[in-house]
Structure 1
Amino acid sequence: MKKQRLIILGGGESGVGTALLGKDKGYEVFVSDKGIIKEKYKKVLIHNEIEFEDGQHTEAKILNADIIMKSPGIPDKVVLIKQIRAKGIKVVSEIEFASNFTKATLIAITGSNGKTTTASLTHHLLKQELNVGLAGNIGDSFAKQILEENYPNYVLEISSFQLDDIIEFKPKIAVLLNVTPDHLDRYDYVFENYIASKFRIIKNQAKEDYFIYDADDEVIESWLMQHPIQSTLLPFSLTKQIENGAYLDKDNIKITIDNNQIIMPTKNLALEGKHNVKNAMAASTVAHLLKIRKQTIRESLENFQGVEHRLENVLKINKVQYINDSKATNVNATYYALESMDAPTVWIVGGQDKGNDYQELFQFVNEKVKAIICLGVDNEKLMANFGHMVDVIVETQYMSEAVKIAYKIAEAGENVLLSPACASFDLFENYEDRGRQFKDAVRNL
C-alpha cells in the first residue's frame, strides 16, 4: 500500500511536532517553510530523517499531497493555499491532525483574551490529581506530546486560526472565555466571521460533551440564541444567578453541576482583577466536572503564579512598580490591564495595529494615565486618539529608550505599564521578545 503523503507548511513548533507524529504513524512527510526554519527545529528534522525545505515553497512537492497541515500563521488568502484548496486537497490544523491519534479527554479553551492564563490555571488545578498535558498554543506541540507522553487528559489553548482548520475535532469540554474584535485583518474585517471561527470549538460536540462560557458576554449570548447547539451548557457569570454552572455570590464563586455544588472564596485568589475571577470560574468548573476535590481546587487557585508577560510585576524601583503586560496584543486585553491599575500610570503602548478601535480605553486613560509612550513604527493613530487626553505623549522605537523616558516621568507610588494593545511584529520578534526586552531594560535602570 502506498504511503499517504503528508505535507506540512511551516517549520515551527506545531509543524515539527506534526512531522514527528506523522512519520511515526506511517506517512511520507515533507516540511516546507517560506521563512527560515530555526536551527533547533532543523536539527530535529535532520535527526529524524524528515525531508524539508526553507526559504521557499516548491509547488511540485506540495501539490501532490494527500493531506496538508498548515501553520496557523498562514492565511487562506495566500496563493498557494488557494491552489491547494482548488485541487481539493484536505487542509487541517495540527490540533485536528493530532487529535486523531489519541483517546484522551480533551479540554479545549479559546477566547479573545485570557486563554493562556485560563489554560495554565486549568492545567494547574487538574495536575494535582490527574495525569494531564498542556498544549495547543502553549509549550510543546500537541502532536509531539501525543507521540512522546500520550497523557490521558489534555488542556489545549486554541486560537481562532487553529479552529479555522478543524474538521472532526471534538473536545469533551470546550471553554469560550469571551469574544471581542481581534485579528480582524484575517477575517476580512467582518466581526461575524471571527465569531463563527471561535464557535467552531463546539461544532462537533454532542449532548454528553460540555460547553463552558461567559454568560455576561453579549456576543456569545446572542450567538447562542440564534444557533442551536448540542452540548450541555455550563455558563459562568459575575452578575446573574446560574442554576447549572458558576456565578459570583458576594465574595464566593458558587459552582453547581448536576445538583452538586461547591463554593470557593475569592478573597485569596492569587490573580487580581475581575477578569481573573472569570478565568478562575472557568478553570474551576472544568476541575469540578472532572471530579477534582474542592480542597485541591481552592489551594491551587490560591497558589497559582500567573503567566509570564501577563500583568507580570517586574520590579519596584524608587517606589515605582514596573508591570509587563506584553501579552496584551489587542484593545480588550489592555482594557483589563488599565482597569486594574490603582495608581497614576505611565502607559507604554503601540505596535502593529490590527484595525483597533481605542474608544473603550478613553475612560481609563482620562482617569488613570498620566503619560503615554508610543512604541511602534507608526504611532499616528495613537497620537490622534490620545494626544489631547494626557499632558505628556512621546514616540520612540526602542524599548530601552521607552523605559528610560518612563523612569524620568514616573514618581513614587505610581506605575509603569507595558500594555501594547497591538501585535509586536513591527519592532520585535513576538510578544515574548517584547516583554523580555522590557524586563531587561527595567533591570538595567
Structure 2
Amino acid sequence: MAKRLVILGGGESGVGAALLGKQKGYDVFLSDGSSLKEVYRNELQQAAIDWEEGGHTETLILNADEIVKSPGIPEKNELVKRIRAKDIPVISEIELAYRFAGDSRIVAITGSNGKTTTTSLIHHILKTGGLDAALVGNIGESFAKQVALDPKPVYVVEVSSFQLDDIDRFRPYIAVLTNITEDHLDRYEYNFNNYIASKFRIIKNQEATDYFIYNEDDEVTKASLDKFNIQSIQLPISMENENSAAFIKDGDMYIRTGEDFINMSIYDFTLKGKHNQYNTMAAGVTAATMDIRKEKIREAVQTFQNLEHRMEHVATIRGVEFINDSKATNVNSTWYALESMTKPTILILGGVDKGNDYSTMTEMVKEKVKTIICLGVDNKKIHEAFSGIVPNIIDTASAAEAAGAAFAHAEKGDVVLLSPACASFDLFKNYEDRGTQFKRAVIDL
C-alpha cells in the first residue's frame, strides 16, 4: 500500500510538497486551517490531490505515515502536539525535496539577515557562469515543486530556521550562514541558544567533501563554531582576518579558495553598504567553490539587479529620495539600512514587534535620523526608545499617511527610508504589500 503523506499548510511550500509526493507515488492529503489561494486550489485539482481548507480533520491527519509541516506552524500548535504524541515523523518541505533531488548539487543559504540577497546573488553568478541552476526555497518557487516539475543539476535554496528545524537527512554541498542575530525568538522559547542551534542545523549532515561558508566577523557565529560538530571544509569570510577565504581591504575584495586568487574593487559592486559587501563575499566564495571563472564572477557582481523591497530606490521628488526597504523586518536589518545612509534620514518604523530591542539602534539613529515616522497600530515602544534622541516622532496608520508625513518633514537633500524593523501583519498582508503600498503612495505625492 502507498505510504500516506499528509501536508499541513497549503501555501507555496505545501502545494509543492503535495505535487512531489503525488508524483513519487505517495497517498497525499493536504490540510489547511485557513483558505487556499485560487492558484493553489487549481494546482491540487489538476494533480488529483485530496485536500481540505478552513480547518483540520484530525482522523485524516493522524493516520499519516509521515507529515510535511508548513514552516509557519509552531510546535506549540495543538494539532502538532497531538502528532508528536503519536510519534508520526514530521519533516519540512526541503527535506522531502532533498530525498528526490538525486545527484544535483545543493547550495543552501540561511542567516538572520542578508539571506535573500545572498541567495539571489549566488544564483545570478552561477547562471552568468553557465550553470543551469534553479532559485528555490523561501524565495520564489518551492524546492519540492521544482524537483517535481523541472529538475535541475543545481539548486540554490534559501532556507529559514523553521525549515531547518524539521530536516532529517538534508545535506547541502555548500552551506552558507550569513549571520545570526536575535530574531523570531517567540518561536524559540525566547532562548537565543535554541535559535542558534536551529541555524547550525544547516551543517548537521555535511561531510568532509562539503563546504561551510560563514561570516567570521559575526560574534555569535564565531562563538558558536566549537559547539557544533562541523565535518565540512570551513571557508570563513571577513573584513578583519586576511587569512579568510574572502576578505576586503582598502576597497578591494579578495577571494581565495584553493590555489586561485580573485580580486575586484568593491566600488564596482551594484550592491552598496557594508552588509552587502559581506553578502557579496559569501556569494563570491560560493561561486569560486563551484568553479565559476573569475571573469564571470566579476561580471555578475556588476550586473546584479537588487531585489524589490530591499533598499529599493523608489523616486526622488523635489530633491528628496525615497527608499523602500520593507523587507527589513527586524532591528538588525534596519541597522544595516541606516549604516548605508549618507544623507539626513527620515525613518519610517514600526509594525508587529517580535520582541525587538531598539537600544542596539540608538547610536545609529542618533547619528543619521532627524525624524521617525511610526507606521503601526501600537507605537508605544518606539516612542519610549527614541524620544529625546530624535526631535520628531510622528504616528501614522497607513502607507499613504506615512509617506505624506515623511515628505512634509523632509528638506531637499534628505532621504525617506521605509525600513520598519517589524513584521507587517498589523496593517498589511505581508512585507511585499507594505512596500507596494508605500511605493504607490510615494508616486501619488
TM bracket, shorter-chain basis: over 0.9
Aligned counterparts of 1:402 and 1:267: Cα–Cα separation in 2: 33
Residue 310 of structure 1 is matched in structure 2 by 310
What amino acid does structure 2 have at the position aligned with 1:239?
E
Q: CA deviation at 1:15?
A: 0.5
Aligned counterparts of 1:161 and 1:197: Cα–Cα separation in 2: 8
Aligned counterparts of 1:420 and 1:383: Cα–Cα separation in 2: 14
Aligned counterparts of 1:368 and 1:127: Cα–Cα separation in 2: 38
Q: CA deviation at 1:310?
A: 0.6
Aligned counterparts of 2:18 and 2:421: Cα–Cα separation in 1: 34
Residue 179 of structure 1 is matched in structure 2 by 180
Residue 111 of structure 2 is matched in structure 1 by 111
Aligned counterparts of 1:388 and 1:34: Cα–Cα separation in 2: 45
Q: CA deviation at 1:58?
A: 0.7
- In the alignment, structure 1 segments of 5+ residues that lack a partner are none
Residue 143 of structure 1 is matched in structure 2 by 144
What amino acid does structure 2 have at the position aligned with 1:89?
I
Answer yes or no: is the 8 Å Cα contact 1:108–1:158 preserved in 2.
Answer: yes
Q: CA deviation at 1:7?
A: 0.4
Q: CA deviation at 1:218?
A: 1.0
Residue 241 of structure 1 is matched in structure 2 by 242
Answer yes or no: is the 8 Å Cα contact 1:236–1:242 preserved in 2.
Answer: no
Q: CA deviation at 1:227?
A: 2.9
Residue 42 of structure 2 is matched in structure 1 by 43
Normalised TM-score (structure 1):
0.98
Residue 383 of structure 2 is matched in structure 1 by 383
Over the matched positions of the two proteins, sequence identity in percent amounts to: 57
Aligned counterparts of 1:100 and 1:195: Cα–Cα separation in 2: 25
Residue 423 of structure 2 is matched in structure 1 by 423
Aligned counterparts of 2:320 and 2:43: Cα–Cα separation in 1: 45
Aligned counterparts of 1:266 and 1:248: Cα–Cα separation in 2: 8
Deviation per residue, 1:3-56 (Å, 9 max, x gap): 111100000000011111110100111110101111111111112211111110
Residue 191 of structure 2 is matched in structure 1 by 190
Answer yes or no: is the 8 Å Cα contact 2:200–2:228 preserved in 1.
Answer: no
Deviation per residue, 1:172-192 (Å, 9 max, x gap): 000000000000000011000
Q: CA deviation at 1:158?
A: 0.6
Report the 3-state secondary structure (helix = DSSP H, G, I; strand = E; otherwise coil) of the residue aligned with 1:341.
coil
Q: CA deviation at 1:249?
A: 2.5
Aligned counterparts of 1:84 and 1:49: Cα–Cα separation in 2: 25
Aligned counterparts of 2:363 and 2:29: Cα–Cα separation in 1: 52
Q: CA deviation at 1:267?
A: 1.6
Aligned counterparts of 1:331 and 1:271: Cα–Cα separation in 2: 20
Residue 337 of structure 2 is matched in structure 1 by 337
Q: CA deviation at 1:318?
A: 0.4
Residue 201 of structure 2 is matched in structure 1 by 200
Aligned counterparts of 1:225 and 1:77: Cα–Cα separation in 2: 30
Q: CA deviation at 1:226?
A: 3.1
Report the 3-state secondary structure (helix = DSSP H, G, I; strand = E; otherwise coil) of the residue aligned with 2:20.
helix
Residue 362 of structure 1 is matched in structure 2 by 362
After superposition, residues 267-416 of structure 1 pair within 5 angstroms as 267-416=267-416
Aligned counterparts of 1:207 and 1:48: Cα–Cα separation in 2: 40
Report the 3-state secondary structure (helix = DSSP H, G, I; strand = E; otherwise coil) of the residue aligned with 2:246.
strand
Aligned counterparts of 1:439 and 1:276: Cα–Cα separation in 2: 23
Deviation per residue, 1:48-96 (Å, 9 max, x gap): 2111111101101100001100100000000100110111101000000
What amino acid does structure 1 have at the position aligned with 2:237?
F
Aligned counterparts of 1:338 and 1:157: Cα–Cα separation in 2: 25
Aligned counterparts of 1:364 and 1:332: Cα–Cα separation in 2: 11
Question: Is 1:9 the counterpart of 2:33 in the alignment?
Answer: no
Aligned counterparts of 1:229 and 1:339: Cα–Cα separation in 2: 33
Q: CA deviation at 1:303?
A: 1.1
Report the 3-state secondary structure (helix = DSSP H, G, I; strand = E; otherwise coil) of the residue aligned with 1:130.
coil
Residue 131 of structure 2 is matched in structure 1 by 130
Alignment length (residue pairs): 443
Aligned counterparts of 1:257 and 1:340: Cα–Cα separation in 2: 29
Report the 3-state secondary structure (helix = DSSP H, G, I; strand = E; otherwise coil) of the residue aligned with 2:171.
coil
Q: CA deviation at 1:422?
A: 0.5
Report the 3-state secondary structure (helix = DSSP H, G, I; strand = E; otherwise coil) of the residue aligned with 1:283.
helix
Q: CA deviation at 1:348?
A: 0.5
Deviation per residue, 1:354-397 (Å, 9 max, x gap): 00001111112111111111111111101111122122111121
Aligned counterparts of 1:75 and 1:202: Cα–Cα separation in 2: 23
RMSD of aligned Cα (Å): 0.8
Q: CA deviation at 1:262?
A: 1.5
